[in-house]
Amino acid sequence: MKLIVQKYGGSSVADVARIERVAKRIVARKRRGFRLVVVVSALGDTTDELIALARKICPEPEEREMDMLLSTGEQVSVALLAMAIHRLGEKAVSFTGPQVGIITDQFHTKARILDINTERIRKALGQGNIVIVAGFQGKTLGGEITTLGRGGSDLTAVALAKVLKAKACEIYTDVDGIYTADPRICPDARKLDQVSYDEILELASLGAKVMHSRSVEVGKKFNVPIRVLHSRRNGEGTLITKENRKMEEVVVSGVALNEEEAKVTIFKVPDRPGVAAKVFKRLADANINVDMIIQNKTETKSTDLSFTVSKSDLPKTLRVVREAARAVGAAHVGCDENIAKVSVVGVGMRSHSGVASKTFGALAKRKINIEMISTSEIKISCVVDGKKGKEAVRAIHKEFGLGKK
């Protein structure tokens, strides 16, 4: 019997009616002769609510305790889904991440999966169960509960599909596939039938939260075919797969927006070797991921150094950077939470020129100022005023003719 790993996101299991609907889908699939491992996220906005609750108690809670708290969300949904399946007369058993041996490193709130012991899942499958696994969580070798970063249930699903050698990994969500831009921002966005791992990897790491970026990384590394589908509508969705000729002909495949970053600037950093190394070493030691970095040589003996980090890491970043600034003799540290990063992505950019000028031109026409720029082989990102982010996405989407014809 073919094994399929499915994942249902928070909005797909937001209330009892939706859980029951998902249960029906799962049971129907099982009865068509499949073995199923189902990964579920926390109900609706549970994770956001838990974070808000923690922040009411403490502005910078210990990350270990955050993981203790956040991992409860998924434990609720797996149990409820198993009960809903039982009511439909099928066997199902729910497990937490730690129970099924999802072993991670020790980096709380953004842990990486190191290993998965499949014994317990295989045994439960062998007994005829639909196996329901809590997404977004694991445990360290020392037995501490960890979480995998926001949206991390996708990663649980893809990693399980890989270790269980599943026939397919199906990600069920509240859109019917991957679009040329977030359809909530660009109503005329077009659904893509196929997208390459590299493109969705860029789109995901640049803010298109339809897929968790590390889940795509794992999918790419182990060649797991991933299909993104709507949890309530039928359709083919979008297949994430290896790059092919047809994809290379498309210069730009999508536009992404990230409104979750903040810009930090260290003013008057002494212009001498080793300063940047010192600052970024401290950030790395605190396990803070830095995104865009800008520094420019000036005619004076000092320079300003700016970079972006996730807003959720901002309190920790400012603490670390203020200490680092003192240590290297910089003047002061400032931050701007009102920024947005807009990115254009496409594997065809490798062989086509003019994408940057067209992108900048689209922003210029709307008088949107660019604060930072970064590029790679297959993407161009611009940081703009936070209030202009959505307008910038629509402008670029239109400029490249990505909308429905």
Could you say which of 6, 10, 164, 177 contacts ligand ASP (CB under 6 A)?
Answer: 10
46 binds ligand ADP (CB under 6 A): no
Could you say which of 39, 175, 195, 309 contacts ligand ADP (CB under 6 A)?
Answer: 175
Beta-ladder partners of 338: none
- Helices and strands per DSSP (H, E), number in the chain: 12, 20
Q: Kindly list the distances between the CA atom of residue 341 and the CA atoms of 162, 293, 295, in Å, as whole numbers in the listed order.
A: 32, 13, 18
Q: Kindly list the distances between the CA atom of residue 11 and the CA atoms of 7, 233, 348, 355, in Å, as whole numbers in the listed order.
A: 12, 14, 34, 35
Greatest Cα-to-Cα distance within the chain, rounded to the nearest angstrom? 75
CB 169 within 8 A of CB 8: no
**Span near ligand ASP by CB under 6 A; candidates 120-128, 149-157, 304-312, 352-360:** 149-157
Minimum Å gap between C-beta 20 and ligand ASP is: 20
Residue 47 interaction partner, one of Mg ion, ligand ADP, ligand ASP, none, beta carbon < 5-8 Å per kind = ligand ASP
Tokens coding 362: 């689209």
70 binds ligand ADP (CB under 6 A): no
75 binds ligand ADP (CB under 6 A): no
Fill in the per-residue mask, 9 to 48: x = in contact with Mg ion (CB under 5 A), - = not in contact: x---------------------------------------
Fill in the per-residue mask, 176 to 205: x = in contact with ligand ADP (CB under 6 A), - = not in contact: --xx-xx-x------------------x--
DSSP state of 135: S
- Shorter beta-carbon distance to ligand ADP: residue 241 or 317: 241
Q: What is the DSSP string of 80-123?
A: HHHHHHHHTT--EEEE-TGGGTEEE-S-TTS--EEEE--HHHHH
97 binds ligand ASP (CB under 6 A): no
Q: CA-CA distance, 384 to 367, in Å (whole number)?
A: 11
Residue 325 interaction partner, one of ligand ADP, Mg ion, ligand ASP, none, beta carbon < 5-8 Å per kind = none
Q: CA-CA distance, 225 to 208, in Å (whole number)?
A: 19
303 binds ligand ASP (CB under 6 A): no
Three-class secondary structure of residue 383 per DSSP: strand
151 binds Mg ion (CB under 5 A): yes
224 binds ligand ADP (CB under 6 A): no
Phi, psi torsion values for 95, nearest 5 degrees:
-135, 150
Residues found near ligand ASP in the complex (CB under 6 A): 9-10, 41-42, 47, 73, 135-136, 150-153
Residues found near ligand ADP in the complex (CB under 6 A): 9-12, 41, 151, 173-175, 178-179, 181-182, 184, 203, 208-210, 254
